[in-house]
Structures are given as structure tokens and as C-alpha cells.
Structure 1
Amino acid sequence: MELYCLFVLLAPACTEITSYINTYTGISGIPGLPDISALTTVDGKEVYYYDSNIKKLISKQGWMNNTDFSETWKMLIEDNSRNIQRFKMYTNFVKKRFNQTGGVHTYQWMYVCDWNDETGDSHGQNMYGYDGEDLIVLNLKYTGSITSSHHTAQTHQENNDKVQFEILLNINNECVACLKKFLEFGKDVFKTTVQPEVHLLQRNASSPVVCLATGSYPEIENISWKKNGEDYHEDVETRETLPNEDGTFQKRSILKVKPEEWKKNQYSCVVQHKSLKKAIQMIVREEEIKTNHKPVVPTNNITNVSGLVVLVIGLLIFIVLLVCVWCRRKRSRAGTNRCI
């Protein structure tokens, strides 16, 4: 990936690590779908998008229409065009290595750079995937080590570690420069924080308790559990962060202990987020849990007897009406409308 965004920048006011992710995806063998699509995100928010059907780079943020950003936008268009050519070379290489001429296959190329404006530290990764598996991963932070899950890729990367590392180093520097530019123009978007809403959920009375933190921006830092004030890690399953339709995020953690266990001990879900001065703690109590389960309300004998009486009276009225109707029809045939 070549990102030629070398310019003098004003440092944005931020103190946390910011992440820039550029992903190219290729799909072969499925008519109608774009052969190549690309998506760039900053801290989980979409910045721009491309696919080979429309053959156009589309901005996803209003601040990118700023006239002061126009030169950078032109550079991004040129960079994307070069990256498309690089990606095509990669897919052709994979097809040749695996000797494939047909079928449905997916190819991915992802570049990630993280930057901390306080320390100046940055971390870059260059990753290639094929049919859902990692093919080559080049990690700048760990001295340019390369790992592969395919022996065919291993032969390609031998003796290329130093060259690949130098390429990644240049890419990382250029990526960080672009990231700073995005943060400068989009600071009102990227530096806005939204507090999460935290809910305890349960499918039914015997199901595990789910702690859901949703509606947050940026992503939830951590969800953990405590038992009687102490950190608790057993019988806990924390799921990956998911995006909401409005650009916020959600994350959930499942406490897999039986109800009788959390009823006699104090379990609490702890949610940490950059918008919070103090972590949110939700104690697992029946009155705090939202559920679709409706308990059966017991009825007493008086209620049962009253219901039976109403049912019997209704049935008698219905029978009388039927007899009356039958009588009217019979008298009508006999020339009289009387029903005695």
C-alpha cells in the first residue's frame, strides 16, 4: 500500500491510540459482486469506500468535502488506483501458486497502523489472506517477523524479510501522516465520546446472564466480572465488539453460573470506557435483569370457582338462544311467529 500523504500537519488534541485500517477484498467466481472492494476506517468509523463495479472512491464523512482537503483527496484517489494494481498482482500470484483457474475464492489485503500522539509510537501490520485464512502477516512492531499458515507462501517469503520490513516501514510512516490529516479535519467526529448503556439480560429463568454494553463510541475498552468484590474469570465468555447501525459499538459478556449461585453471592459486571471517569458496575439481581420470561402467577380457589361459574352461565345462555332460534324457525314454517 502506498499512501503519499506527506505534508505539514497540526497535531490534533488527543491522547489515546488511534487506529487506521485499510482493507481490500477480492471475490472471484460470483457474478454480480464487485471483483475488488476497499474500505478504510479510522477508530471504527468508515472514511472512504471503493468497489470495482462503480470504479469510484466514495467519501463517507462530510468533512472530506472541505475544500482544504481536496488535495489530500486527490492523493487518496491516486493511492487507491496504485493499490488496486498491487492487489491484482497479489491475487494473480495466489492463483498461480495454488494452480487455480476457477471456483469461488476470496482474497484479502489489510494494512493497519496505530498511532499514539503522546509517545509518538506507531505500530504497523501488513496482512494477506486467502479463503478466510492468513497467508502472510508482516508485523512492524516485532522486528518485521513474517508468519504463514500455507507452505506455498513460505517459499515466496524466504529471504525477503528485510525487503518486506523496509517496505512496511515506509508504508507505516506514510499511513501515520494520513491518519494525522484525518484526525485534523475529522476531530469533531473521531474525538467525540458517547457513554455506553449497560443492561443485564436473560432469556429465561435458568439461562446465563448477559451483560450488554451498547451505544458507545469509541469501542468498549473492557467488560469484566467481579464476585464478592474480587475479579472473577471462571465461567465467563466475552464476545467480540460489534458495530451498531448508527456508528456506535456494542460488546457483551456472558456469566455462565447457575441462578442459585449468583443469588447467594454478589456478582457484578464492570464496564470500562474512555467516556467514563469511573467504571460502570451492574450488580446481578433479579430486579436489574431484563427478560422475556414471564413467571406464572398462581391462582387461589376463589378465583377458580368464580371463573367456572362465569363459564357455566355463559354456556346456559348460549343453549337458550339456540333453542329459541330453533323454535322460531319451526313456528315460522307452521304459519306463526310465536315461540312459547
Structure 2
Amino acid sequence: MPETSAPPDEPVTADSSPVPPGRPPARPDTGSGPAHDPRLAAERVLPLRHPWRWVLTAVVVVLAAQFAHGLVSNPFYQWDRFAYWFFRPVVLDGLVITLEVAALSAVAGLIGGVVLALCRLSPNPVLRSASWVYIWLLRSVPLIVVLLFLYNFSALYRTLSLGVPFGPAFFRFDESRLATDMVVAVVGLSLNEAAYAAEVVRSGVLSVDQGQHEAASALGLPRGFQFRRIVFPQALRVIVPTYVNQLIGLVKSTSLVFYVSLLDLFGTVQSLGSTYPGDIVPLLLVATFWYIVLTSAVSVVQFYVERHYSRGALRTLPLTPLQKIRSAIRSARARIAVGAGI
């Protein structure tokens, strides 16, 4: 029988573990590699300096501090009178009228804007042209002119009728009785708001990918169902931020209804300022703060509506203010625990 030679001894590493065949044994670390170069270890990576950013920050902080100090220390503002007028029933009554006018005009304006946008997107040339003319005209005329024209509408048409054109009238309306101050304000603001809302809605509809329309048509879905369930929900992601800006402008535009004899928040403040001339500045501050409260409430609603319609478009929804506070508290507790060595 021929003798068989024993297999050679397998090389081992420093920890006596066998090295797989075909792999050279590891060399001991001598500390001479680039990771252990003392010259590299001695160098530090310095962050990029932004001196002008800190200068601008200091300027902003100083200006803000001076502004706050002026608000608190300047006796001209009469904060005691501001506190007296802020919750007075007459001011709150004007605030309620402002809310009513803004809410009714926002709803009517949005409905009118959707109808006008659909007419502009319609293949019918008559509807498309009429919608374009309406939007062009109402966006060209100042809102105060529209309100004053409607306020004096009874001088042009004392009665309104519904019937056959150039023929008998079936129903007649007394315009002077129908056109109350509230109706004139709501109609004027709604007509103006619809012209702007139409372009907002149209831009949102056009932002939806064309493939969505083609896929819905390939499924044989009715056009109305396509718009309600597929196109419009996706368009709202674009419509909501822009239209909320319109709502904020609408809330501030309600101050113009004072010129059609409707005493809203601004009209009430103006009337009280005429009666109490020494309280003009506190009353203007009262109106300013209430408008800030209203627009801030609209902005909060905007955040949650945008967050709702961003589902499916964003991987992670933005945190709500309450969630941000909880996250900050958890982070602070974690840092404290690490510092205490727990």
C-alpha cells in the first residue's frame, strides 16, 4: 500500500483561529497605517464659520427687543383702555358679524369658484368664454367698488323679475327689501372671492397627473365620479394652501363692509373711535389683535387639512404641535438620563 502524506498544518492567526484555504494570514497591526498616523490624529475638522449670520441674528434680536419694550413702556398705547375694550359686548357683536360674513362668503365663494373652474375647463366654448370674462372682470374691479355698486343697485333696478326674456315676468322681487346690508356684504365678497377661487381650483385640477384622468377613463368611470373621487381629492393638495391664503385675505377684506353700513369688527371700532376720540389707538389695537386671532385660527385649520390630504404623498406626516412638544420632552429626558449616567 502506498503511504499517504499527512495534510499540511493550517496556518493560524494571532487568536489561534484557522485561516480558510486560499486566504493569506492576517498581518499584525503595527500602528503604521493611515488610521494611526499621528499627524492626522492631531488635526481637527473645524466647522465652517458664518459670522454674518450671527451678526444678522444679533440685529434681529435687538430690534425685536426694542419693539417689545416700546409696546410695553410707551404710554401712548394705553393698554389699560385696550383691556377695557377687548371683551366689551359691542366689540364682540361686531366680531360675530365679521365671522358670519367671512364664513358665508367663503362657502359661497368656494362653490362659485368650483363652478367657474369647471366652466373654464369645459369643452363648451360658451361656458369657457363666459367664465373667463367673469373672472377677468371681477379680478379687475376693486372690491370696494363692487360693494358700493351693489349697495346702490336699487337705484338702477328697483325690482327684479324672473320670466321669459323680452316677455311676461312670472315672479317679481323688491330689490330694496332683499338687499339688506348683510346680503350686500355677503354677495359682494362672494362674487369677488369666486373669481379668485376659480383660478385656485383650476390650477389644482391641472396639477393632477394626466395619467390619473386616462386611468379613470379607461375604467369607464363617469366624469362626475372621476372628478369627485379621483381628481378633486388629489387637487386639494395644491388647492388648500393657496385657498387658505385667500381665506385670510377674505377675513381682512370684511373690514370694507363698513362702507355699506354694516358694523362689523372694524366698523364698530371706527364708530367707537368717533365717539371716544381719546381711545382711537387702543380700539385699533383691539381690532388688530382680533384679526390676528382669526387669521391664526384659519392657519391652524390649514395645517391639519394639509396634513390630512398629504397622506399617500409623503412618507412621514408632519408632526402636530402637540407631538413636537412630546418629542422635545422625550429628547430632554433622554439627555438628562445620559448625563446622569442612568
TM-score of the alignment, normalized to the shorter chain, above 0.5 = no
Higher CA-based Rg:
2
When normalised by structure 1's length, the TM-score is 0.20
Which structure would you say has the larger RCO, counting Cα contacts within 8 Å and 6 or more residues apart?
A: 2
- Higher fraction of helix: 2
- Higher fraction of strand: 1
When normalised by structure 2's length, the TM-score is 0.20
